[in-house]
Structure 1
Amino acid sequence: MKHLLNAAAILALSAGTAFAQQDTLTLGMVLEPPNLDPTGGAAAAIDEVVYANIFEGLTRFGPDGAVKPALAESWEVSEDGTVYTFHLHDGVKFHDGTDMTAEDVVFTLDRARAEDSTNAQKALFAGIDSVEAVDATTVKVTLAAPNGNFPFNMAWGDAVIVAPESIDNAATAPVGTGPFTFTEWVQGDHVTITRNPDYWGEAPALASATFKFISDPNAAFAAMMAGDVDAFPNFPAPETLSQFEGDPRFRVIVGSTEGETILAMNNKQPPLDNVLVREAIAHAINRQELIDGAMFGFGTPIGTHFAPHNPDYVDLTGMSDYDPEKSRALLAEAGVEDLTLRLMLPPPSYARRGGEIIAAQLREVGIETEITNMEWAQWLEQVFGGKDFDLTIVSHTEPADINIYARPDYYFQYDNPDFQALIEELSVTSDPARRAELNKEAQETIAADYVNGYLFQLAKTGVANAKIMGLWENAPTQANDLTGVYWAE
């Protein structure tokens, strides 16, 4: 009898092990981040790994795009709108065991707005006049002018709270306050994170997660089919989605992103410094052909740098509609002929596939292109940092980022003082009706200046194991937030 009981116990134990709920996840990503410090790099892939997982800010974006409390459990605003008082959660620790206090918030914000700051979104902090630690869990931020958007600004990945003790190594060994800790980075292959046992908030269901870097669409498809990857939130082979839809092992997740996909033009590089040439390029582009050919029908045409799902969006696609005859006439008016432009393409499939299609469309109106396929680090250094390009294709996945056009030193080098004044007014305006007017004017201004070729809003086309729950459908920011992800039994 004793032996029977032992055998039964062993069977029960083995059955429990076999059917235990899975708590690990392998997530596919197209691009490998150049580093893991969201406060010191522009690449969206950084936030895709660390946002809400390793690092947290005072506030954060929810899956619906709403701004929610994070390290700050609440805040108040002064009557004149210039002073924000944030109340921090008590007992929060960084992953290295040090306390997260108001002094760390002071350090973070002062560092981000410093003259020598390398923060990619330094403009988010430009309106801060001073930051003061009232006590260990209270921070007072005084602004130079009212800014009703300040909690929104603090939700960006560029505004996560870091500590002076660990910031020097954040690029390769990030230390945050989030529900997951950094475990390892095997460059060229993956990053692994592990559940934080001392997390101040609600513990995540996943014990660990691995971000696997697979840029080739065919390899991504094979990895999903073989089960080497459990989910691919931004799947690079949309032409294969129908195969996943017909397979009960998988779930296809299609949503929207903040990614305005543009044919960026170097506005200081002749002849692209001539608005007639930029307009000619815009009219040479057949957006629907591009969406069908590069994205297999997934994507929404845009005519300016603004997301169609935003309530303030204005449809300006008609200003740059496909009109090759008009394109040729504009080039003739500009006195430009035998034009050859350098087209630099980063790795994402929308850029590589889209670049070939746009090159063919430009050739139809008499513009030749020299295509250079670049790795992400090379693109960041030469195009984004060095401004050494004529044309490039990239999705800008930051939320509500039309203000980048007010930065003359930004990589496409658009310098319009009137637009800069408009954005300055927008930054200090809290009235919703006036903000809508300013947003409309901003969209119309850059569309009329043909700063870039506005192509389409990037769709979020994801594939996941059908048992995985909690992945974001839409992408209000560039993140793979795993805090609510779990395997269904």
Structure 2
Amino acid sequence: MFARLKFSVAALALTAGAAMAQQTDITVGMQLEPPNLDPTGGAAAAIDEVVYANLFEGLTRYTSDGSIAPALAESWDISEDGTEYTFHLRDGVTFHDGSTMDAEDVKFSLDRARAEDSTNAQKALFAGISEVEVVDPLTVKVTLSGPNSAFPNNMAWGDAVIVAPESIDNAATAPVGTGPFMFSDWVQGDRVELVAYDGYWGEKPALTAATFKFISDPTAAFAAMMAGDIDVFPGYPAPETLVQFEADPRFKLLIGSTEGETILGMNNKSEALSDPKVREAIAHAINRQEIIDGAMFGYGTPIGTHFAPHNPDYVDLTGLSDYDPDASKALLAEAGQEGLTLSLKLPPPSYARRGGEIIAAQLRAVGIETQIENLEWAQWLEQVFTGKDFDLTIVSHTEPMDINIYARPDYYFQYGKPEFVELMDALNLATDPAERSSILEQAQTMIAEDYVNGYLFQLARTGVANANIEGLWENAPTQANDLTGVSWSQ
């Protein structure tokens, strides 16, 4: 009897210990699967959502409040004329294959990104670099062709992470970085798995493993969260069900802002849309609130230009493109474009698919028919983003402070007005806050008055998480699911 009692006490102790053991793995839901895992060679936001700050790191990085912090560079000096940045690298940093990360790798990464044959989706971030010089193994001097006060911000983008020549050729499917997590497995069509990297230079994460699970269907996403198959879904695709999670003590909501300007993208060089009157007619045909209510169930802030409303330099220009179907019809008649039919190519996110149906009905009401084509993400990148084979599309631009994309004439909506390019050049040179604010106001106004795109809403951050998870980002200052500070409470 005594022996049995001893066994029972021991069993109870083991059971209690197991119950108290803190969970150290996490499963993160994502609606879109990345086309590859190399942030320096792809435009899809889903790449950064997996690897940014987790697997890859840059010289600098975005933090949860949107500020810029040191990363692989622990500090940097700026010359008096603003054209030389000297980065002081952290000592003891290694890549996941055990090789040392040093100044040669930084030079390789920046030179590769700015090379003539570069496939970097944000090559413009590096266009102002005239020379990258290795001073010593832990010091790199970057010389710019002109002052650029935003250069530390540019180096925080996912497209500017530091890679090694020995491993970059396999980065699309087997990435090697310097972050706190290293690549473990990719079951295409299902999940990507990361595990903690024992040799990490910085503070070790509380998590030992992370799985990014891809669930494109909103109904399936709801079922997976309810069943506990997913621990957190930061970009939850079924906002209509958030009220159910809010009422369930097992969960908490992560409602915040993003950098995602959601637009009705227009091909400014397609036959009909090269006429600004037609673009203005389309803008006046759009009822923003109807789209926010119907596609996002009320989550979202109306915008009238390509700029985040939470930014202190935001200008409310929604009045320039207010809902006015009569004005829309008159503009179409003026342009001789009654009976117009346009292609509307939609990527997978629910804001695009649901929003597309609503916009199609709104355009039909003013006499514009649309041919809707639902594309998978890889198709959208090929046909719309790269091939420019479209009239209209809907997409959320989640990169931070990205109004400068309108200065690129070959960007998918094909604007690149010379006067706008001059504004962006002036912005790069400006260091006075008041001057920068004035330039940004002019830039916002110019693209709004030119009706480059139809400006819909700022994408809200609508996430759902297990109530016991701590350290998740509520807002999304960049396109990332940063797990470096995430843990489970007891």
Report the TM-score when normalising by structure 2: 0.99
SS for the counterpart of 1:313 is: coil
Structure 1, unpaired ranges of 5+: none
SS for the counterpart of 1:172 is: coil
Alpha-carbon distance in structure 1 between the residues aligned to 2:416 and 2:157: 25
1:111 aligns with 2:112: yes
Question: What is the CA-CA distance between 1:395 and the residue it aligns to?
Answer: 0.1
SS for the counterpart of 2:382 is: helix
Q: What does residue 138 of structure 2 align with?
A: 137
Question: What is the CA-CA distance between 1:429 and the residue it aligns to?
Answer: 1.5
Question: What is the CA-CA distance between 1:89 and the residue it aligns to?
Answer: 0.7
1:243 aligns with 2:248: no
1:430 aligns with 2:443: no
Alpha-carbon distance in structure 2 between the residues aligned to 1:402 and 1:13: 57
1:359 aligns with 2:360: yes
Partner AA of 2:149 in structure 1? G
Question: What is the CA-CA distance between 1:133 and the residue it aligns to?
Answer: 1.1
Alpha-carbon distance in structure 1 between the residues aligned to 2:18 and 2:303: 51
Partner AA of 1:191 in structure 2? V
Question: What is the CA-CA distance between 1:390 and the residue it aligns to?
Answer: 0.4
Alpha-carbon distance in structure 1 between the residues aligned to 2:363 and 2:411: 25
Q: What does residue 160 of structure 1 align with?
A: 161
Is the 1:89–1:137 Cα contact (8 Å) retained in structure 2? yes
| % identical equivalent positions | 75
Q: What does residue 395 of structure 1 align with?
A: 396
1:346-385 CA-partner distances (Å, limit 9, x unpaired): 0000000000000000000000000000100000001101
Q: What does residue 443 of structure 1 align with?
A: 444
Q: What does residue 376 of structure 1 align with?
A: 377
Question: What is the CA-CA distance between 1:10 and the residue it aligns to?
Answer: 4.0
Question: What is the CA-CA distance between 1:6 and the residue it aligns to?
Answer: 5.5
Alpha-carbon distance in structure 1 between the residues aligned to 2:176 and 2:78: 30
Alpha-carbon distance in structure 2 between the residues aligned to 1:74 and 1:213: 37
Q: What does residue 339 of structure 1 align with?
A: 340
Q: What does residue 46 of structure 1 align with?
A: 47
Structure 2, unpaired ranges of 5+: none
Q: What does residue 64 of structure 1 align with?
A: 65
Alpha-carbon distance in structure 2 between the residues aligned to 1:381 and 1:110: 26
Question: What is the CA-CA distance between 1:415 and the residue it aligns to?
Answer: 3.0
Q: What does residue 320 of structure 1 align with?
A: 321
What are the residue-to-residue correspondences of 1:125-274 with 2, within 5 Å? Answer: 125-274=126-275
Alpha-carbon distance in structure 1 between the residues aligned to 2:210 and 2:88: 31
Is the 1:359–1:369 Cα contact (8 Å) retained in structure 2? yes
SS for the counterpart of 2:475 is: coil
Question: What is the CA-CA distance between 1:19 and the residue it aligns to?
Answer: 2.2
Q: What does residue 479 of structure 1 align with?
A: 480
SS for the counterpart of 2:271 is: coil
Alpha-carbon distance in structure 2 between the residues aligned to 1:30 and 1:10: 42
Alpha-carbon distance in structure 2 between the residues aligned to 1:129 and 1:224: 49
1:51-95 CA-partner distances (Å, limit 9, x unpaired): 000000000000000000000111111111111111111010000
SS for the counterpart of 2:192 is: strand
Alpha-carbon distance in structure 1 between the residues aligned to 2:163 and 2:203: 20
- Provide the aligned length of Structure 1 versus Structure 2: 489
SS for the counterpart of 2:434 is: helix
Partner AA of 2:166 in structure 1? E
Alpha-carbon distance in structure 2 between the residues aligned to 1:110 and 1:299: 39
Q: What does residue 123 of structure 2 align with?
A: 122
Shift >4 Å, 4+ stretches: 1-7
Partner AA of 1:147 in structure 2? N
Q: What does residue 413 of structure 1 align with?
A: 414
Higher mean alpha-carbon deviation, 11-20 vs 421-430, is at: 11-20
SS for the counterpart of 2:135 is: strand
Report the TM-score when normalising by structure 1: 0.99
SS for the counterpart of 1:147 is: coil
1:407-433 CA-partner distances (Å, limit 9, x unpaired): 000001113111111111111211111
Question: What is the CA-CA distance between 1:481 and the residue it aligns to?
Answer: 0.1
1:123-164 CA-partner distances (Å, limit 9, x unpaired): 111111111111111111111111111111100000000000
Question: What is the CA-CA distance between 1:4 and the residue it aligns to?
Answer: 4.9
SS for the counterpart of 1:185 is: strand
What are the residue-to-residue correspondences of 1:65-104 with 2, within 5 Å? Answer: 65-104=66-105
Partner AA of 1:217 in structure 2? P
Alpha-carbon distance in structure 2 between the residues aligned to 1:437 and 1:148: 16
Higher mean alpha-carbon deviation, 385-394 vs 11-20, is at: 11-20
Alpha-carbon distance in structure 2 between the residues aligned to 1:40 and 1:291: 33
Alpha-carbon distance in structure 2 between the residues aligned to 1:11 and 1:300: 53
Is the 1:149–1:430 Cα contact (8 Å) retained in structure 2? no
Partner AA of 1:132 in structure 2? E
Partner AA of 2:169 in structure 1? D
Partner AA of 2:399 in structure 1? E
RMSD of aligned alpha carbons: 0.9
1:469 aligns with 2:449: no
Alpha-carbon distance in structure 2 between the residues aligned to 1:279 and 1:16: 65
SS for the counterpart of 1:443 is: helix
Partner AA of 2:213 in structure 1? K
Alpha-carbon distance in structure 2 between the residues aligned to 1:372 and 1:408: 25
Alpha-carbon distance in structure 1 between the residues aligned to 2:354 and 2:58: 36
Q: What does residue 453 of structure 1 align with?
A: 454
SS for the counterpart of 1:223 is: helix
